[in-house]
């Protein structure tokens, strides 16, 4: 690789980069050769396909794979040699596969130590007996048996078959056999139309409705009422627990876990908000516009005047998020926060089980990282205590909390 600096500004440093085409060609040939023993194609025995044919079949795919690896490696090398910390992902503009321009957007100077006297809100709640009782009632309503009845009411669970199931009806239902719980809380139009038609229908009868301009013909297969556990003793038998005390202990553990989660999430949100307001960092328009293009496919150069207000709002939100991401990354360094592999595996095992994809693993890592930042920050910054009831905390969580993006 060869590179040279072509532009340096306060917010940006750009380079022209040329990859070593000869060296990359050797890597591509080596990878293709490594695939020969297991490569199969009609007309040749396994492992006997000529390299020229393998290259004609998968050469482009292997080349792209190698190029992506080399580009990523070379960007890291340039960043390290030039001692550059980029605020956002660098921008790459290709001239051809082996030559490109590379722009780093420089991270502004930010000293967390200067912000240590900031006061951050710490919300707490205590699990009361009434919270446990209310949650136990919710659990009771989840564990019910069904009893077949002759006529539906507004609380019935109804199984029916869509008798005219075809392409048009597939826009509404994924299969012809449908179960609907009339007690579901939703304003979805098809559900409301069905509830109105089925509320007093007889078992085994036929019906016909039109919903979203599509006709649905159906036959009732069964109508059921829900039978809930009559008391705590019945409930603990269903749950296979020893006593109500055991159930209450599990409920208390669950509610305290929820409190702990929300407390840290609220704390992180307030921490980022307060620090952002206290240390306002000017994010260059070029950086904001690039992120707008990446995340929202908004190109400022082709923006129409009637969209200006919406774009200005997106620009402000994007600028705020970039600033919060910067603060988040600086907090990681300042607080020396690390997530160990063992604790990550334990967290994944507890909350995701054995099978976990890359996205779930990244989410788990982000959660642990945020938790650690919250724990360390509560000992570092000034605290303003706010006590809420459990119900108030949960309402705040459901109404106001949005998943954080600062988990990288």
| DSSP string for 216-283 | EEEEEEEEEEEE--SSHHHHHHHHT-S-HHHHHHHHHHHHHHHHHHHHHHHHHHHHHHHHHHHS--PP
Same structural domain, 298 and 364: yes
* Same-domain pairing of 252 and 380: yes
Asked if residue 187 has pLDDT above 70, the reply is yes
Q: Are residues 199 and 246 in the same domain?
A: no
Cβ neighbour number for residue 106 with a 10 Å cutoff: 17
CA–CA gap between residue 140 and residue 236 (Å, rounded): 9
For residues 23 and 162, membership in a common domain is answered with no
Q: Give residue 400's pLDDT.
A: 59
**406 band by pLDDT with thresholds 50, 70 and 90:** very low
Q: Please, are residues 223 and 149 in contact by the beta-carbon 8 Å criterion? A: yes
Cβ pair 378, 124 in contact under 8 A: no
Task: Tell which residue, 196, 160, 192, has the closest CA to residue 175.
Answer: 160
Residue of higher predicted confidence among 408 and 129 = 129
Report the pLDDT value the prediction gives residue 295, as an integer from 0 to 100: 87
How far does CA 330 lie from the centroid of its chain?
A: 22
Asked whether residue 26 is domain-assigned, the answer is: yes
Q: Is residue 126 part of a domain?
A: no
Q: Is the pLDDT of residue 51 over 70?
A: yes
| Domain contains 56 | yes
- In tens, the pLDDT along 232-277 reads 999 999 999 999 999 999 999 999 999 999 999 999 999 999 999 9
Q: Do 159 and 177 touch, CB atoms closer than 8 A?
A: yes
355 pLDDT band (50/70/90 cuts)?
A: confident
| Tokens encoding 286 | 């070029």
Tokens of 71: 């580009």
What is the domain-level CATH number for residue 16?
3.30.70.1050
For the chain, what is the domain count? 3
59 with 159, same domain: the answer is no
What CATH number is associated with residue 255?
1.10.3120
Contacts of 404 (CB under 8 A, 6+ apart): 265, 268, 269, 366, 370
Kindly state whether residue 366 falls inside one of the protein's structural domains. yes
365, two tokens = 């890592």
Task: Please tell me whether residues 163 and 298 are part of one structural domain.
Answer: no
List pLDDT tens digits, range 162-176: 999 999 999 999 999
Asked if 83 contacts 13 with a C-beta cutoff of 8 angstroms, the reply is: no
The string of pLDDT tens digits covering residues 74-127 is 999 999 999 999 999 999 999 999 999 999 999 998 999 999 999 999 999 999
272 and 370 belong to one structural domain: yes
Is residue 273 domain-shared with residue 379, that is, in the same domain? yes
Domain boundary among 227, 262, 279: 227
pLDDT of 402: 44
pLDDT surpassing 60 at residue 217 = yes
Final residue belonging to a domain, choices 227, 251, 283: 227
For residue 328 the two structure tokens come to 């988040």
d(CA 347, CA 6): 46
Query: Taking residues 356-374, what's their average pLDDT?
Result: 92
Within this chain, do residues 255 and 219 fall inside the same structural domain, yes or no? no
Whether the predicted pLDDT of 392 surpasses 50: yes
Q: Which pLDDT score is estimated for 408? A: 38
Torsions phi, psi for 221 (to 5 deg): -95, -35
pTM of the model: 0.76
CA distance 149 to 203: 7
Percent of the chain at pLDDT exceeding 70: 98
- Domain ranges, residue 320: 113-118+241-400
Based on the fold, state whether residues 211 and 256 are members of the same structural domain: no
Cα separation, 368 vs 378, in Å, equals: 15
Among residues 178, 199, 227, which one ends one of the domains? 227
Give the model confidence (pLDDT) of 295-347 as tens digits. Answer: 888 887 777 777 888 888 999 999 999 999 999 999 999 999 999 999 999 99
**Of all residues in the chain, what percent carry a pLDDT higher than 90?**
84
Distance, CA of 218 to CA of 351 (rounded, Å): 40
Q: Give a yes or no: residue 234 inside a domain.
A: no
Q: Is the pLDDT of residue 399 over 80?
A: no
Residue written as token pair 């970039």:
322
Residue 338 belongs to a domain: yes
**Rounded average pLDDT over 367-392:** 96
Return the C-alpha torsion angle 86, 89, 91, 96, nearest 10: 120
Is the domain of 288 the same as that of 357? yes
Please give the structure tokens belonging to residue 270: 């307030």
| Whether 253 and 389 share a structural domain | yes
- Give residue 333's Cα distance to chain centre: 24
In a domain, 129, yes or no: no
List, for residues 13-50, the tens digit of each pLDDT value. Answer: 999 999 999 999 999 999 999 999 999 888 898 989 99
Tell me what the pLDDT averaged over the chain comes to. 92
């Amino acid at each position: 690789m060869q590179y040279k600096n072509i532009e340096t500004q306060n917010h940006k440093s750009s380079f022209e980069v040329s990859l070593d085409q000869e060296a990359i060609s050797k890597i591509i040939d080596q990878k293709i050769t490594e695939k020969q023993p297991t490569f199969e194609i009609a007309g040749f025995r396994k492992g006997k396909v000529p390299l020229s044919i393998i290259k004609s079949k998968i050469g482009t795919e292997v080349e792209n794979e190698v190029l992506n690896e080399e580009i990523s490696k070379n960007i890291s090398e340039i960043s390290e040699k030039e001692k550059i910390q980029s605020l956002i992902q660098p921008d790459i503009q290709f001239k051809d596969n082996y030559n490109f321009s590379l722009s780093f957007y420089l991270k502004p100077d930010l000293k967390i130590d200067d912000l240590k006297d900031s006061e951050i809100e710490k919300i707490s709640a205590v699990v009361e007996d009434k919270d446990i009782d209310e949650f136990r009632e919710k659990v009771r309503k989840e564990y019910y048996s069904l009893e077949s009845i002759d006529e539906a009411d507004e609380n019935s669970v109804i199984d029916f078959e869509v008798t005219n199931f075809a392409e048009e009806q597939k826009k509404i239902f994924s299969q012809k056999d449908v179960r609907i719980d009339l007690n579901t809380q939703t304003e979805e139009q098809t559900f409301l139309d069905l509830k109105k038609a089925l509320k007093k229908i007889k078992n085994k009868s036929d019906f016909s409705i039109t919903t979203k301009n599509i006709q649905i013909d159906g036959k009732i297969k069964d109508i059921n009422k829900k039978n809930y556990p009559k008391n705590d003793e019945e409930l603990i038998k269903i749950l296979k627990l020893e006593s109500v005390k055991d159930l209450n202990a599990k409920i208390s553990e669950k509610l305290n876990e929820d409190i702990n989660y929300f407390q840290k999430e609220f704390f992180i949100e307030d921490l980022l908000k307060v620090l952002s307001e206290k240390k306002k960092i000017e994010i260059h328009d070029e950086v904001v516009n690039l992120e707008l293009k990446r995340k929202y496919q908004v190109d400022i150069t082709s923006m129409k005047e009637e969209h200006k207000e919406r774009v200005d709002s997106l620009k402000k939100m994007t600028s705020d998020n970039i600033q919060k991401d910067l603060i988040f990354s600086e907090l990681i360094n300042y607080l020396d926060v690390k997530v160990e592999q063992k604790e990550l595996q334990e967290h994944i095992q507890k909350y995701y089980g054995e099978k976990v994809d890359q996205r779930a693993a990244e989410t788990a890592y982000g959660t642990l990282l945020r938790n650690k930042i919250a724990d360390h920050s509560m000992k570092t910054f000034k605290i303003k205590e706010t006590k809420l009831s459990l119900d108030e905390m949960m309402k705040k969580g459901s109404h106001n909390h949005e998943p954080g993006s600062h988990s990288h």
